[in-house]
Amino acid sequence: MVLGIGDDTAILEGKAGQQLLVTTDTLVSGIHFPEDTSPAAIGHKALAVNLSDIAAMGGKPGWFTLALTLPETDESWLQAFSASLHELARRYYVSLIGGDTTRGPLSITVTMIGTAPVGKAVTRNNATPGDVVFVTGSLGDAAMALYCLQNDADIDADIMARLRGSLDKPTPRIDEGMLLRNHAAAMIDISDGLSADLGHILSASSVGAELLTEQLPLSQDMLDAASQAGITADKRLQLALTGGDDYELCAVIPETQLGPLQTAWPSSLAPLTRIGKITTGSGLKLYEADGAPGTTIATGGYTHFHEKAN
């Protein structure tokens, strides 16, 4: 960075051989986070969801601008928001290069700029039949937290705190994305739920996919909470497939890259789970296990879940 905040614009040095990745996301209170969300969680999440978009391209995040609209000047709110945002920024070495604070109903817009070597950014449109579908981490923790909050479910407090942590303070998969860019044909981050986001890859690549639902990585906390809240296996699966707010990566890996990827993946990164494969045709089909009858689901979001011959 040549010049940070304090002039009409920031100045960044363009680098030969590097491409720039640019993304923007707005969080609005009551829509993107529950209204009782702490300022620390809001500060974290506003940055994390944008970092996650950079991760989904395999990029290295570099700089961000912050547009903050606040109903009133509340020093302690601002301090908690800011401390949390800057803690996450330091963790990924990203710098705030521009800001605008205005008065109005609470909303936060972050624009993030990252970099990737020319031609290395992973888009959505290169999945081909036979490729294998992976996800990082676990699915549905944030959705389970939201479900329990909205239904006032009686869950063990420690479990609830950890699930709420997944909802409020997601971990952007930056390091995972930068490794995956060497192997993946297509990649996306899971913000709207696996079925919707994998659906974007399928549409962009003009392919279909089959998932093995027993392979979907569910955390022990998610399973325990489901059991304590008396949630059916179908409902649990629905949360994992369509709940959103996971901020895990869904990556499509060509067969030839499976070995190299496995060798390259260090245990320090979030676990990578094989969940299915890319097929010809279109849309997403679910199988409980290899050879079991499949279920076709709408990839625009979860709309139904019933057995159907395929």
Instruction: Please report, as ranges, the residues that interact with a second copy according to CB under 8 A.
Output: 2-3, 6-29, 31-32, 53-54, 56-57, 59, 63, 65-67, 69, 97-100, 102-105, 107, 109, 111-116, 118, 121, 123-125, 187-189, 204
Whichever of 124 and 277 has its CB closer to a second copy, that residue is 124
**Long-range contacts formed by 230-233: CB under 8 A, 24+ apart:** 231/147
Closest distance of CB 61 from a second copy, Å = 10
Closest distance of CB 216 from a second copy, Å = 22
Whichever of 39 and 294 has its CB closer to a second copy, that residue is 39
Whichever of 64 and 287 has its CB closer to a second copy, that residue is 64
Tokens of 57: 């391209």
Q: Are 173 and 247 in contact (CB under 8 A)?
A: yes
Q: Are 114 and 47 in contact (CB under 8 A)?
A: no
Tokens of 63: 């700089």
Closest distance of CB 175 from a second copy, Å = 16
Closest distance of CB 93 from a second copy, Å = 17
Whichever of 13 and 152 has its CB closer to a second copy, that residue is 13
3-state secondary structure of 306: coil
First to last CA, the chain: 55
Torsion of CA 281, 283, 286, 290, to 10 degrees: 20
DSSP, residue by residue, 142-173: HHHHHHHHHTT----HHHHHHHHHHHHS----
Q: Could you tell me the CA-to-CA distances from 112 to 9, 32, 97, 158 in Å, in that order?
A: 15, 18, 10, 33
Closest distance of CB 217 from a second copy, Å = 21
Q: Could you tell me the CA-to-CA distances from 19 to 14, 95, 121, 158 in Å, in that order?
A: 9, 18, 8, 43
Tell me the C-alpha distance between 215 and 82, whole Å. Answer: 39
Please choose, from the candidates 219, 205, 214, the residue with its C-alpha nearest in 3D space to the C-alpha of residue 251: 205
Q: For residue 231, what is the enclosing H or E element? A: none
Whichever of 199 and 294 has its CB closer to a second copy, that residue is 199
Whichever of 23 and 295 has its CB closer to a second copy, that residue is 23
Closest distance of CB 68 from a second copy, Å = 8
Work out the angle between the directed axes of helices 157-168 and 141-150 (0-180°, nearest 10).
120
Whichever of 172 and 208 has its CB closer to a second copy, that residue is 172
Closest distance of CB 212 from a second copy, Å = 25
Whichever of 4 and 165 has its CB closer to a second copy, that residue is 4
Closest distance of CB 248 from a second copy, Å = 13
Tokens of 103: 């008065």
Tokens of 230: 């008396």
Closest distance of CB 127 from a second copy, Å = 13
Whichever of 45 and 162 has its CB closer to a second copy, that residue is 45
